[in-house]
Structure 1
C-alpha cells in the first residue's frame, strides 16, 4: 500500500462538540406528493449543550421528511440556535433514519424503541455571522441521532 492509499484508508477521528435536544410537534402527514411521501415535523424549541457550544433552539424551524418506498426516512431539518452570547446560528441538518418495518411501526404509534434498534445519522451545516463561532462553518460534522415521541436528540461530532 502506498502513502496515498494509507492516507485514504485511515479513518478520521471524531471529537464531540455538543448535543441538541429538540422538542418537536406531531407529524404532519401530507401523503404522497410528486417528490414522495412527505411529512413535516415542527421544531418547537430546545437546547444545545457541550464542550464547544451552548445555546437555545428557537421555535419556528421544521424537519421536512420524505418516507421512501423502502421505509427509510430522508430528513432535512432547518432551525436556528441562539448561542449563550446571543449570536444566531442557522442549522441545516440532512440525515437518514432506517429501521425495520416493525420498529418503524412502533415509532409511528409514538412508542419509545431502543436507540440501537435503528440507524439515524445526520450531516449538519452551520452558518453564523459571529466571528467567535466561525469554526462551526469551517468544520465537518456527523450527527448521531435518537428519536423519542416528542423529541429528537443529536450529538454533533467534529470530523478531524
Structure 2
C-alpha cells in the first residue's frame, strides 16, 4: 500500500532585500494598495548573488492589517547568469495573542545549468522586516 510522505523543508538560501519606503496608492477597487521598490540586497546559501535594483513588491492591505504581497525581482549570479524571483505571501504584525507572521511561496526562473533544478521545485519562505531590510529564508519542499 502506498503512503503519502509528509513534506520536509530543506534550507536553500537566505535573502536580505533592501527596500525603499512604500508608495501609497490609496484605495483601489475597495482595497488599500501600495508599492515598495526593491533597491538591492544579497543572496547567500546554496548559491550567492546580488539582488538587482528595480524590483517591486505590490501590496494589498486587508482591513485587519494583514498584508498580501507579490514581489518580483532579479538576482545577479555573476558568471552563472541571472535569476528571476517571484514571492507571494502574507505578512501580519504581532498581536497580544499572536507572533508576527511572514510566510510565502517563492518561484524561481533560472538559466540552464547547475541551478536549473530551481525551475521544477516548490519553495516556501519565512521572514521578517527590520526597517528597510526584508530578511527571507527560502526552503525547498521535499
TM-score of the aligned structures, taking structure 2 as reference length: 0.91
Query: 1:26 — aligned with what?
Result: 21
- Superposition RMSD on alpha carbons, in Å? 1.8
Match of residue 140 from structure 1: 122
Q: CA deviation at 1:42?
A: 0.4
* Structure-2 residue corresponding to 1:77: 71
Q: 1:120-146: CA deviations, max 9, x gaps?
A: 001010112332211111111100111
**Which structure 2 residues correspond to residues 88-99 of structure 1 after superposition, within 5 A?**
88-99=82-93
Q: Gapped runs of 5+ residues in structure 1?
A: 103-115
State how far apart, in whole Å, the 1-side matches of 2:30 and 2:105 are.
21
Name the structure where helix makes up a greater proportion of residues: 1
Q: Does residue 1:61 correspond to 2:55, yes or no?
A: yes
Runs of 4+ in 1 over 4 A off after TM superposition: none
Task: Measure, in 2, the Cα distance between the counterparts of 1:24 and 1:32.
Answer: 22
Who wins on radius of gyration, i.e. which is larger? 1
The 3 A distance-change label for structure 1 pair 33 and 69 is same
Does residue 28 of structure 2 align to residue 46 of structure 1?
no
d(CA) in 2 for partners of 1:157 and 1:128? 16
What whole-Å deviation, never above 9, does each CA across 1:79-106 have from its counterpart, x for those lacking one?
Answer: 000114241111110010123468xxxx
Count of paired positions: 141
Q: Is the 8 A contact 2:31 2:61 kept in 1?
A: yes
Secondary structure (helix, strand or coil) at the match of 2:115 reads helix
Matches of 1:46 and 1:58, distance apart in 2: 7
Counterpart residue number, 1:120: 102
Aligned to 2:113: 131
List gaps (5 residues or longer) in structure 2: none
